[in-house]
Amino acid sequence: MNTKVLFLLFLVVFGFLAYSKHIQHERAIRAEVELNNTLNLVQTDLETFKLSYNSTHWAYLNQKVDDEDVGRAIERVLELREMLLKLNVSDDEIGDIDACLNRTYSYQRRAQFYAALTEGRSCAVLAADYLGSTLALANRTEFLKYVRGQFRSVEALQNKTAEKWKQTLGSGINFTDYLITGFVVEDNIIKAEISLNQSRNFLEKLDRIPNPTTSQEIENVSILGSWVTSYLEFARGFLMDSTVLISHVTPGTFNPSGQRTNVHALVDNLSGVDVPCEFEETMLKVACDWKEYHKKWGLLGVENGYYSAATYHLLYAIAIDGHLDEFEALNSTFAALRTPTEKVRMVLRLRHEALESINDCSQDPLTSLYIQDAVGWYFKHGDAALEMMVRLRTDDPTAQPLYNYEMAKIIAKNMCPYVVMLSQTTER
């Protein structure tokens, strides 16, 4: 009797285990089928519907820089490189600078002079980073001597550049050139001021560690030293780029003071929709933080009379602020979806909306400049997230591409009509 009971129990347990294994197998098959279907949806969409917008503002800016301008940017890098060699920095650090210079030379050979110019400035910042890190530890006296000299030099360059730009605008400028080249000039002047302030702040922190003794203090001195000199070099590079561009702007009859009314209307518009950044959800918080960033830069532009930079940044802030409810709705809807396929379909619908918004925009250099982030950053990174999903065979898409495509869409939808209106109503 006991044997029969044990045998029956064995059959029950075996049957249960076999059934459980069968269920698990069936679930695995269904999951694999759904994964394949989901990834096929993504792959097909990426292959069939591609972004074809032609960004033309880079070619426009290339015309505002020549080979000699690039050569002077390279000279600055070589000057810093020589200083590093005298300090016996590592071969790896010199190798990093040389690799950066090779990229600069490559752009220069292809006559992509604006790209070469900005790449050369990044090489100088990299070299300055290594210089500050090494010198602050090796010889604080020499470090402070170098830094103080750089502050005097950059501050003088700052005043000279701002005055030169003021004189250029007073003589009259071409309308399109003001809104494209002028945007870069004014944005760089603002960036230089912010970089100088950051360098000063880091120098004050460094002064509080006069004689580092502990390993933590030594590391902090190295880091702070690199930040002091790299932000100084950022400021120098921004101002030098502005100086280069100012020398190549096209004269005209346009007076930027006429933009005052339009710019203040944008300020009022932003004030009317301005939402405090008090969100906990990541997508909303990141979007709102970027709104605050562009709002700050836009208001700095207004304060300094830099209306080209102000227009761009205020429009950007308004685009985000006016659509925060869309971010909230997207996040809620996405979180409520049950299956990966449903989530992917939602992402792809938004991808198509972003594509349509961008492709509806004109491809003139001004519009291209205004939607550079929509094209070259947000849409590109949305697609990169989907490509990664296919490559890694991930079955549960994140909300990251939703954020990217939404940003691409709202920038294009808000920027492009405004550029058309501006071009039609402003006297050239």
Specify burial of residue 18 (Cβ count, 10 A radius: 0-12, 13-18, 19+): exposed
Of the candidates 205, 200, 228, the one whose C-alpha atom is nearest the C-alpha of residue 133 is 228
List, for residues 392-416, the tens digit of each pLDDT value.
887 667 889 999 999 999 999 999 9
Are residues 290 and 320 in contact, defined by beta-carbon separation less than 8 angstroms? yes
Q: What percent of the chain has pLDDT over 70?
A: 91
What percentage of the chain exceeds 90 in pLDDT? 74
What is the distance between the alpha carbons of residues 327 and 407, in angstroms, rounded to a whole number? Answer: 9
User: What's the CA gap between 90 and 14, in Å, rounded?
Assistant: 67
Q: What is the pLDDT of residues 84-129, one digit of tens each?
A: 999 999 999 999 999 999 999 999 999 999 999 999 999 999 999 9
Is there a contact between 93 and 42 (Cβ–Cβ < 8 Å)? no
Higher pLDDT, 339 or 352: 352
Q: Hey, how many other C-beta atoms are within 10 angstroms of the C-beta on 159?
A: 10
Say whether pLDDT at 139 is over 70: yes
pLDDT of residue 394: 76
Among the listed residues 247, 232, 148, 246, the one whose alpha carbon sits nearest the alpha carbon of residue 193: 232
- Burial label for 317, CB within 10 Å (0-12, 13-18, 19+), is buried
Q: How many angstroms separate the CA atoms of 403 and 108, rounded?
A: 35
**17 confidence band (pLDDT: 50, 70, 90):** low
Instruction: Say if residues 210 and 290 touch (Cβ distance below 8 Å).
Output: no
Q: How far is it, in rounded angstroms, from Cα 382 to Cα 351?
A: 8
Q: How far apart are CA 84 and CA 86, in angstroms?
A: 5
Residue 198 carries which side chain, given as an amino acid letter?
A: Q
C-beta pairs of 343-349 under 8 Å, 24+ apart in sequence: 343/396, 343/397, 344/38, 344/41, 344/42, 344/397, 345/41, 346/402, 347/386, 347/397, 347/401, 347/402, 347/405, 348/41, 348/42, 348/45
CA distances from 90 to 87, 95, 222 (A): 9, 9, 15
Q: How far apart are CA 41 and CA 341, in angstroms?
A: 8
* Contact status, residue 64 vs residue 181, Cβ threshold 8 Å: yes
Q: What CA–CA distance (Å, rounded) separates 233 from 236?
A: 5
DSSP string spanning 74-117?
HHHHHHHHHHHHHTT--HHHHHHHHHHHHHHHHHHHTT-HHHHH
Cα–Cα distance measured from residue 419 to residue 417, given in angstroms and rounded to the nearest whole number: 5
What pLDDT does 10 receive? 58
Task: Give the model's pLDDT for residue 428.
Answer: 45
Could you give the angle at the alpha carbon of 174 between the alpha carbons of 173 and 177, nearest 5°?
105
Q: Which pair of structure tokens corresponds to residue 243?
A: 């100086």
Q: pTM of the entire structure?
A: 0.88
317 near 295, Cβ under 8 Å?
Answer: yes
Provide CB contacts within 8 A for 158, sequence distance 6+. 189, 192, 193, 196, 235, 239
Cβ proximity of 50 and 353 under 8 Å:
no
Residue 276 in this model has a pLDDT that exceeds 50: yes
Strand partners, 254: 173
End-to-end CA distance of the chain: 105
Instruction: Say whether pLDDT at 298 is over 80.
Output: yes
Cα 360 from Cα 57, distance rounded (Å): 17
CA distance 223 to 218: 9
Q: What angle do CA 253, 254, 257 make, to 5 degrees?
A: 135
Beta bridge partners of 173: 254
The residue written with tokens 């940044």 in the block is 313
Q: What is the mean pLDDT of residues 336-342?
A: 87
DSSP label at residue 256: G
374 close to 411: Cβ distance less than 8 angstroms: yes
Q: Give tens-digit pLDDT for 61-76.
A: 999 999 999 999 999 9
Alpha carbon distance 50, 45 (integer Å): 8
